Amino acid sequence: MMRAAGALVATLLLLSACGKSDQPAKAEKEGAETPGVTLKAEEVASLGITVQPAAAAQFTGRINGYGVVTALDTIAQADSEFLTAQAAAAQSQAAAARARALSTGEDAAISREQLEVAQSKAAADAAALALARRKTEAAFGLRSPWRDTESRQAAMRKLASGAAVLVRATFAATGGAAPRTLEISRMGADSKSWTTHTIWDAPADAAVPGRSFYALVDGSDLAQNERVIAAIPIGAAQAGAKVSAKAVVFGESEAWVYVQTVSGKDAQTFLRTRVDISRPVGDGYFVTSVKPGDRLVMDGAGLLLAHEANPSTEVEE
């Protein structure tokens, strides 16, 4: 009887030991079957991995070009020449009208010769005004918003005070009417941009092939003669997500981000996801392969890629 009881206890102990040894193997098998890279909590901490949700974003197709802020002295010189010619023409026209009135009747106060001199001066000043107008049109286009006196004064006040700048933008390929909207962005790390709707055709730029436009940009801090990036929005806005540039890693001739798919207390899983970085947005990229709210690896993505490429390498404690 005692022998039978001992055999039963030994059997139960053996089964219990087998069950315990099967649990880690089962967990390891499940981890191997989960897509992505699964790391223990201490490994995640050792790699310095941090995650951040992807922000929702919209992207509109664009035709890109380049531009330059027109120097204020160029605008002021052309405006001054036009106003001077306009004032001279108005004065000589008035003088010719007075001479005409004084040269008629029996009691004419001036001679016929004096009238002809006044009329000749008026004609010369009118021709000078026409030349100044054509020079302005040649420089700033036929459809500039300052063709009438009131609009001209308002535009020049804004330009002189720095409340607006005049940008000349050139695009390699665009046809039809002038665009309704232009986006002007500063080059370099400062990606600040401004949108304008005051746009008209500019004379062709002999130095740059393509079609040119002038645009009045309000409220910018662009400097005179500064080079800028110009864009014409096209098509409807597309919904997607924005991924930060620091979240992107490169491998196998592709761009990738790591998305956290499992966030457990003891282990976390990160899935490498391909992204298209052909649509830059600010300090990141607009993508559709990642959804808004997906938790992206921000710090440690490069180390995570190296660990995935060589999983036999132990993570340093």
What is the pLDDT at residue 17? 47
Q: Which two tokens stand for residue 16?
A: 């219990």
What is the pLDDT at residue 13? 44
> Amino acid letter at 317?
E
| Residue ranges covered by each domain of the chain | 74-140
Average of per-residue pLDDT across 284-293: 94
What is the pLDDT at residue 128? 94
What is the pLDDT at residue 315? 55
Neighbour-count burial for 173-202, b at 16+ CB within 10 Å, e otherwise = eeeeebbeebbbbbeeeeeebbebeebeeb
- Cα separation of 96 and 84, whole Å? 18
Q: What is the CA radius of gyration of the chain?
A: 37
Q: Is pLDDT of 2 > 50? A: no
pLDDT (tens digit per residue) in 109-133: 888 888 889 999 999 999 999 999 9
Residue 76 has phi, psi (to 5 degrees) of: -65, -40
Nearest to 82 by CA among 154, 160, 149, 158: 149
What is the pLDDT at residue 20? 44
What is the pLDDT at residue 316? 54
Write down the CATH number for the domain with range 74-140. Answer: 1.10.287
296 and 271 Cβ atoms separated by less than 8 Å:
no
Band of pLDDT at residue 25, cut at 50, 70 and 90: very low
82 and 132 Cβ atoms separated by less than 8 Å:
yes
- The pTM of the full predicted model, rounded to 2 decimals, is 0.62
Strands (E), 54-163: 55-69
- Element of type H or E holding 305: helix 301-309
- Cα separation of 186 and 194, whole Å? 9
Q: Is pLDDT of 258 > 90? A: yes
What is the pLDDT at residue 237? 85
92 and 122 Cβ atoms separated by less than 8 Å:
yes
Band of pLDDT at residue 312, cut at 50, 70 and 90: low
CA count, 13 A, side-chain hemisphere, 55:
14
End-to-end CA distance of the chain: 54
Q: What is the average pLDDT value for the chain, to the nearest integer?
A: 84
The angle that helices 149-161 and 72-102 make with each other, rounded to 10 degrees, is 150
- Cα separation of 106 and 81, whole Å? 41
Number of H helices, E strands in the chain: 6, 15
pLDDT (tens digit per residue) in 193-235: 899 999 999 988 788 788 999 999 999 999 999 999 999 988 8
Comparing 308 with 2, the larger pLDDT belongs to 308
CA count, 13 A, side-chain hemisphere, 86:
12
Band of pLDDT at residue 250, cut at 50, 70 and 90: very high
The angle that helices 72-102 and 112-140 make with each other, rounded to 10 degrees, is 160
What is the pLDDT at residue 314? 56
Q: Which two tokens stand for residue 204?
A: 């062709």
pLDDT (tens digit per residue) in 49-103: 999 999 999 888 888 899 999 999 989 998 899 999 999 999 999 999 998 888 8
